[in-house]
Structure 1
């Protein structure tokens, strides 16, 4: 990010400046009135001549004492001013401020002052960039990489404390056909609606992320196969009963779900996600609106689970496991 981009994101009040001939009391009054920490000192044509800060004023009171009110800004301002330009990289300027232990950075174009940035502006922008790198820009849920990190942490907890762990992958049925017939805008609305539904219908400590163009995943910590299957069945009911799904044109309201659980043979969380992804493809090929999950009641098969396809439209999961 460039300094110009940082300024574009910042809510800018009118830039306050001061002349070198003005009094220290004038400087203190401006700083107090506008709740700012430093003032650029300017001359003709807004050419920057120096900078004066709250700390400078405090020191001047101790230094001048009774003569404080007779002193001008020129008597205490810093003239060797470090500045930045509009095209400078934000990270480089932030590192410079930390290295030089300065809290305010004048932004100049040529020799003319353009804006004043504080170190808090840089810290806020950095936190915002970090946050944006962790979420999907369209839906606002964690992106694939962030969800992978969450899953790895939960898998390590599973290995250490032997608490159950489940993962569900949710795939929009006929996504490609929807994209071809209705366009990208319709797909975007679909994904936003589905993300909101997933967030609303899951627990606060479940983690939802978008893992591909047409699918999401849910990490269910401390959740066994039976409880996860029930949660997925409730989720399908919620999607089908949502008012948006009652519109005849809302054929996109059909989803498939693949469910998998951690077991002792798995080395990392990625294997659970792969297994859930394979099962959602099986569910989609079976016609959609379906959950492909391990049968919690059945005997172990060769890979540790027995797969049973549950049709949401027949609500077979409710018959098998009941409801909460």
Structure 2
């Protein structure tokens, strides 16, 4: 299964903020859409990602005025990205190894979506269930039990 297969099942709308968005505004935005991270775009280009973890790390070191800081001050900029043609198994392995919960997906330099670890796990489970069903059908049809 490819990453594009996950993206094809998802809403293609990419929720994003700009680097000058305040942390408070980003938190309200994330709460409104019930998401744990938000893509940060600067002039339409991927600049970073702001996550719940970014907020916690920053607040633990500088709690005064944390909500007045900008997302650009606290976002993650060292991003691991994947492509729509990558295998979901590969993406899942990287997400687990690097402890990443949200992965931006780029087609060339263009952001085409984001998948969560939940999306990847769900796709893996669906693939495994389909393989199990096919194997059972094959075994039963070969043995004449069907």
RMSD over equivalenced CA pairs, Å: 2.0
1:98 positional shift: 1.2
Q: Structure 1, residues 117-159: CA drift from partner, whole Å, max 9, x if none?
A: 00011100001001001114xxxx93234xxxxxxxxxxxxxx
Unmatched tracts of structure 2, length 5 or more: none
Q: Distance in 2 between matches of 1:143 and 1:59?
A: 50
Q: Report the count of equivalent residues.
A: 146
C-alpha contact (below 8 Å) 1:52/1:76 kept by paired residues: yes
Map of 1:309 onto structure 2: none
- SS of 2:111's partner is strand
TM-score, with length taken from structure 2: 0.89
Map of 1:144 onto structure 2: 138
Map of 1:243 onto structure 2: none
Unmatched tracts of structure 1, length 5 or more: 146-209, 219-324
Map of 1:101 onto structure 2: 99
Matched, 1:86 2:84: yes
Q: Structure 1, residues 104-126: CA drift from partner, whole Å, max 9, x if none?
A: 10011222211110001110000
* Highest RCO, 1 vs 2 (Cα 8 Å, sep ≥ 6): 2
Map of 1:217 onto structure 2: 145
1:52 positional shift: 1.0
Map of 1:60 onto structure 2: 58
Q: Distance in 1 between matches of 2:10 and 2:81?
A: 20
CA change 1:13–1:30 in 2 (3 A) is farther
C-alpha contact (below 8 Å) 1:84/1:106 kept by paired residues: yes
Q: Distance in 1 between matches of 2:12 and 2:55?
A: 23
CA change 1:216–1:32 in 2 (3 A) is farther
Q: Structure 1, residues 215-251: CA drift from partner, whole Å, max 9, x if none?
A: 8526xxxxxxxxxxxxxxxxxxxxxxxxxxxxxxxxx
Map of 1:41 onto structure 2: 40
Q: Structure 1, residues 89-112: CA drift from partner, whole Å, max 9, x if none?
A: 211111111111111100112222
Q: Structure 1, residues 246-275: CA drift from partner, whole Å, max 9, x if none?
A: xxxxxxxxxxxxxxxxxxxxxxxxxxxxxx
Q: Distance in 2 between matches of 1:217 and 1:32?
A: 53
TM-score, with length taken from structure 1: 0.42
Q: Distance in 2 between matches of 1:132 and 1:105?
A: 25
Map of 1:17 onto structure 2: 16
- SS of 1:211's partner is helix
Pick the structure with greater CA Rg.
1
1:58 positional shift: 2.3
Q: Distance in 1 between matches of 2:58 and 2:52?
A: 10
Q: Distance in 2 between matches of 1:11 and 1:2?
A: 14
Q: Which of 54, 67, 70 is the aligned partner of 2:68?
A: 70
C-alpha contact (below 8 Å) 1:19/1:42 kept by paired residues: yes
